[in-house]
Amino acid sequence: MSGNNAPLNHVFYRNQNWRYPKVSHGKGIYLYDENGKAYMDGCSGSAVANIGHGNVEVADFAAEQMKTIAYTHLSRWTVDPIERCAKKIVEWAPEGLNHVYFVSGGSEATETAIKMARQYYVERDGQGASKWKIISKWNSFHGNTLGALSMTGITGRRKMYDPILVNFPKIPQFYHYRNPWHAKTLRETSILAAEALEEEILRQGPENVAAFITEPIVGSAAPGVYPDPIYFEMVREICDRYDMLLIIDEVMSGFGRTGKRFAVEHFNVIPDILTVAKGMSSGYTPIGAAIVNDEIFNTIMINGSGHFVHGHTYGGNPLSCAVADKVLSIIERENWVDNAATQGKYLMQKLQHLNNKPIVGDIRGIGLMIGIEFVSDKKTKKPFEQDDRLQGEIMEACLEEGLVVYPGGGCFIGYKGDHILLAPPINITRHEVDLLVEKLERGIENVLDRLSIGRRQYHEKTHYNDSANRECSDENDDASCPPYVRGNRKKHTSLCQTRRFNRTYPRSRREFEADKRPESVQGSSRSIGRDDC
Ligand SMILES: Cc1ncc(COP(=O)(O)O)c(C=O)c1O
């Protein structure tokens, strides 16, 4: 049974257990709720709002573009903003990635990449082409649509949909803190992780493998985890040797987040396909892309059929392209990529003293893409139990302090392990970094207090006896009921029953009830505070 904390209206929210504060507006690195409380956006939503909120220059520019032309279908028309945006993206991208296939977000970008890889081999080798498998990794995230989820290595997100996913092979991540080889150095872990790719190619048969996909710095699956540069040196060489494509997923790390235009620059590697989204428009419009090299483009579009069998309605719409071009021009003009490098270094330095907290296990990352992993025992790296909901606790405690962090879990063999991602807007100032760390530290301290007095007692005291938050007392009490159910007896009765249940059984009883449900269903209701992309 769900906690039924989401507002009762017609929105199908992502998580009915979450009490959603209502945002009235955003400005700079802050979001403001309807009561005027300010929240520092310490994760830019999900590493999206790279230039912060409420940018009037972008808003005015978008309004003008809408008056000119907002939408055309890419199968019939070309428009200046699309061409300008593609040119800008290619200027930003690593050398040789000269062709931009526009989509509307990250999952569409990674789906596009694997379809492009398959079509590349079909165009090159003919209809009988055997290459189709995509090797990916555990502790990785490439999106929630079925193709993207088939590559994603997070058990919690896959479990429910396993029967309808493609069974792509998975290898271990370059996750030094929890590396399965007990390697002592990051370099050693990175070498072993790269060798695992070669082993898997041989296991699958190189003739069947079309591509390998990897994030350069891991996002939500194990935030901030990155390899030694040797990893990409080896992986690039392995992909070339076995005639397969290297897809690098910079949906989260791209466009300045790590203190370089793209994170691949930290590792001196050039992929065949680079997938991007999020920071590309900083959230002002939905957009993403697969950026590809001449070899793929020429094989499909010039020397091949000339038609990539794919496409989405909003791919390459003039409004999103114009806005992305504008956002990137502002980042260039204001030097915010360099700012991300400077403030990222400062943030990492300031975070170091959190290492003395008993639950902080690992702090890692590059630029303004930093992960903190929490453990119940620092020595053994033992994770918290799922029921402890540590990630949700940290997020809630930080929200109380006016800081938004991006929680996640499953970094420890898929179902345990708690972490947060810090990814504030890349135009954050040094003073704001100081504030962020202060708020975070207070949030962690509050969780430590809760742990010491007993989490359940704390929650029951502060969260679940607040009858003021539960709207009406019975089905005849129309006045105190939300407009959504007023005058509708059926909905009213069901709402009141839920409320009565919640009042009668405090949270512990509801958890007990939840425990009796099948594991696959439990996963979703337990994910208080978990983000999904
Ligand atoms: C690395 C990576 N790839 C793909 C995606 C999926 O992007 P979207 O949520 O826009 O579909 C994400 C989202 O967080 C991501 O971090």
Residue pointed to by tokens 């032309």 = 69
The answer to whether the CB of 143 is under 6 A from ligand 1 is: yes
Q: What's the pLDDT at 505? A: 39
Residue range 28-39, pLDDT digits in tens: 999 999 999 999
Q: E strands of 278-343, at which residues?
A: 288-293
- d(Cα 94, Cα 91) in Å, to the nearest integer? 8
Residue range 333-375, pLDDT digits in tens: 999 999 999 999 999 999 999 999 999 999 999 999 999 999 9
> In 454-488, where does DSSP find H-type helix?
455-462
Using a cut of 0.85, tell me whether the model's pTM lies above it: yes
Percent of the chain surpassing pLDDT 90: 81
Q: What is the mean pLDDT of residues 2-26?
A: 93
Q: What is the mean pLDDT of residues 286-313?
A: 98
pLDDT at 502 over 80: no
pLDDT at 211 over 70: yes
Phi, psi of 31 (to 5 degrees): -110, 145
Q: What is the mean pLDDT of residues 400-416?
A: 94
- Residue 80: how many other CB atoms lie within 10 Å: 13
Q: What spacing in Å lies between the alpha carbon of 142 and ligand 1's midpoint?
A: 5
Query: Which residues, listed in sequence order, are joined to residue 99 by a DSSP beta bridge?
Result: 292
pLDDT at 501 over 90: no
Residue range 226-252, pLDDT digits in tens: 999 999 999 999 999 999 999 999 999
One-character DSSP codes across 5-34: -S-SSS---S-TTS--PPEEEEEBTEEEET
Q: What is the mean pLDDT of residues 294-314?
A: 97
Q: What's the pLDDT at 506? A: 40
One-character DSSP codes across 403-440: EE-EEEEEEETTTEEEEEEE---TT--HHHHHHHHHHH
Q: What is the mean pLDDT of residues 131-153?
A: 98
Pick the closest to residue 233 from 256, 266, 209, 207 (CA basis).
266
- d(Cα 317, Cα 70) in Å, to the nearest integer? 7
Of 149-163, 380-394, 497-511, which gets the smallest average pLDDT?
497-511
Q: What is the mean pLDDT of residues 72-97?
A: 97
Pick the closest to residue 103 from 137, 135, 147 (CA basis).
147
Confidence of residue 504 (pLDDT cuts 50, 70, 90): very low
Query: Which residues, listed in sequence order, are joined to residue 180 by a DSSP beta bridge?
Result: none
Ligand 1 atom index nearest CA of 140: 1
Ligand 1 atom index nearest CA of 533: 14
**CATH fold for domain 70-334:** Aspartate Aminotransferase; domain 2 (3.40.640)
Confidence of residue 429 (pLDDT cuts 50, 70, 90): very high
Q: According to the CATH classification, is domain 37-54+336-462 in 1.10.260.40? A: no
Query: Which residues, listed in sequence order, are joined to residue 27 by a DSSP beta bridge?
Result: 30
The answer to whether the CB of 249 is under 6 A from ligand 1 is: yes
The answer to whether the CB of 251 is under 6 A from ligand 1 is: yes
Kindly report the three-state secondary structure assignment for every residue of 228-242: CHHHHHHHHHHHHHC
Of 154-158, 199-203, 424-428, 460-464, which gets the smallest average pLDDT?
460-464
Same fold, 37-54+336-462 and 70-334: no
Mutate to test the pocket of ligand 1, among 14, 43, 48, 141 (most ligand atoms within 8 A of CB): 141
Mutate to test the pocket of ligand 1, among 102, 278, 281, 419 (most ligand atoms within 8 A of CB): 278
Q: What's the pLDDT at 387? A: 87
- d(Cα 513, Cα 524) in Å, to the nearest integer? 14
The answer to whether the CB of 220 is under 6 A from ligand 1 is: yes
Q: What spacing in Å lies between the alpha carbon of 256 and ligand 1's midpoint?
A: 16
The domain segmentation of the chain, as residue ranges, is 37-54+336-462, 70-334, 473-525
